[in-house]
Amino acid sequence: MKNVTLIATGGTIASAPDKSAGAVNAGLNGESLLQSLHEPLDDIAVSVVNFDAAGSYALDLETIFNLCRRIDDVLSDENVDGVVVTHGTDTMEESAFLAWLLVKSDKPVVFTGAQRHAGFPDTDGPRNIHDAICAAASPDLTGVGAVILFEGDIHGARYVTKAHTSRVDAFRSVGHGKLGEVDHGQVHIYTRPARARPVRTPVRLDPNVELVALGLGSTPMLMKLAADHGASGIVLSAFGRGNAPKGFAQATADLAGKGVPVIVASRCYEGRTRPVYGKDSGGVTLMESGALFAGDISAVKARLLLSALLGAGLSGDELAKAVQSLH
């Protein structure tokens, strides 16, 4: 008999229409989610931990840091084989990435949720929960780090993203593909990450790292404003290989001089950053101004990485090496 713990955090999967509020709100606990399953779980026992229940758009870094610690506490029990986290889809890729980065245990950690709330007759939640529990009970996911299970597909947390606002097959690992799938309770793993995940153990996540999205003709105004109001780090969602409009190189140099790190990620879904282009705020100029490059980590996840590294007290060369280690 395998033993899996379900940690319920709210989200669409735990939501139903709230007539008094005129909206859909989270409110179902983990026990109710288990009762919704349409099929039995063969040789798997499930226990429940009810965590902070909220839509994932309302969660913050401190909450998810505490969630990662709770996951490790649960997995420290030798009788627990894996964990399932039910979670809202809006920020699921971010929480899963933090679990991939922070959870010390190599036991399976599987995030899942729903796109159709529990009040729909065809809600996708029960199927996703059933598949996720089967995946969390599988030894084939040991050592992979946190994953997202949705619509039968298993995606590694490093690369997965929510690619559609409402469809039930919302998640994709663009350019990399899924790790495997669950088919009628059977777990099939087709590939594993080529490199071990770099587990980090910060004492906290720095909440003051800001993400700045760049568009044609953007100015460094928001970047400077964030720094002036206490931002401890900046991540730029930049063009292509890691380029920015005029003025960003100088702004980066100014912030670097004040000890505020700047990471350049790409807004592209595939490929990696690399300093190639020069002149004002091309990648080479940004690098010469002190910017670090995120490689193939998305801007959203680069922000979380920087939050963790700053929370671990890293700065200067140590910080740069830690970012480089994920390339």
What pLDDT, on a 0 to 100 scale, did the predictor assign at position 25?
75
Task: For residues 151 and 215, state if they share a domain.
Answer: no
Domain boundary pick from 138, 156, 189: 189
Task: For residues 142 and 249, state if they share a domain.
Answer: no
CA atoms of 89 and 116, how far apart (whole Å): 11
Residues 111-129 pLDDT 10s: 999 998 877 777 888 999 9
Task: With residue 112 as reference, give the H or E element that holds it.
Answer: strand 109-112
When divided into structural domains, the chain yields a total of 2
Residues 77-96 pLDDT 10s: 999 999 999 999 999 999 99
Question: Binding site for substrate: residue ranges?
Answer: 56, 89-90
Q: Count of CB atoms within 10 A of residue 14's CB?
A: 28
What pLDDT, on a 0 to 100 scale, did the predictor assign at position 28?
79
Domain boundary pick from 189, 219, 254: 189
Task: With residue 255 as reference, give the H or E element that holds it.
Answer: helix 248-257
Task: For residues 105 and 148, state if they share a domain.
Answer: yes
Would residue 204 count as lying in a domain?
no
Which of 5, 86, 89, 273 is an active site residue?
89
In this predicted structure, which of 118-127, 236-245, 272-281 has the lowest mean pLDDT? 118-127
Task: For residues 179 and 224, state if they share a domain.
Answer: no
Task: For residues 215 and 177, state if they share a domain.
Answer: no
Question: Binding site: residue ranges?
Answer: 56, 89-90
pLDDT over 90, % of the chain: 82
CATH of the domain at 271: 3.40.50.40
Would residue 135 count as lying in a domain?
yes
Would residue 196 count as lying in a domain?
no
Mean pLDDT score of the chain: 94
Would residue 195 count as lying in a domain?
no
Which of 12, 91, 161, 285 is an active site residue?
12
Residue 141 · residue 187 · CB < 8 Å: yes
pTM, whole model, 2 decimals? 0.95
Task: For residues 151 and 259, state if they share a domain.
Answer: no
Would residue 141 count as lying in a domain?
yes
Task: For residues 9 and 148, state if they share a domain.
Answer: yes
* Residue 219 appears among annotated catalytic residues: no
Nearest to 274 by CA among 289, 253, 292, 251: 292
Would residue 25 count as lying in a domain?
yes
**pLDDT band at 103, cuts 50/70/90?**
very high
pLDDT over 70, % of the chain: 98
Residue 163 has pLDDT above 80, yes or no: yes
Residue 51 has pLDDT above 80, yes or no: yes
Domain boundary pick from 140, 155, 189: 189
Would residue 14 count as lying in a domain?
yes
What pLDDT, on a 0 to 100 scale, did the predictor assign at position 120?
79
CA atoms of 134 and 72, how far apart (whole Å): 19
Task: For residues 179 and 226, state if they share a domain.
Answer: no
Would residue 203 count as lying in a domain?
no
Q: Residue 168 — left, alpha, or beta (φ > 0 → left; ψ -120 to 50 → alpha)? A: alpha
Residue numbers of the domain that contains 310? 209-325
CATH of the domain at 74: 3.40.50.1170
What pLDDT, on a 0 to 100 scale, did the predictor assign at position 24?
72
Task: For residues 137 and 226, state if they share a domain.
Answer: no
Task: For residues 146 and 174, state if they share a domain.
Answer: yes
* Residue 112 appears among annotated catalytic residues: no
Task: For residues 79 and 17, state if they share a domain.
Answer: yes
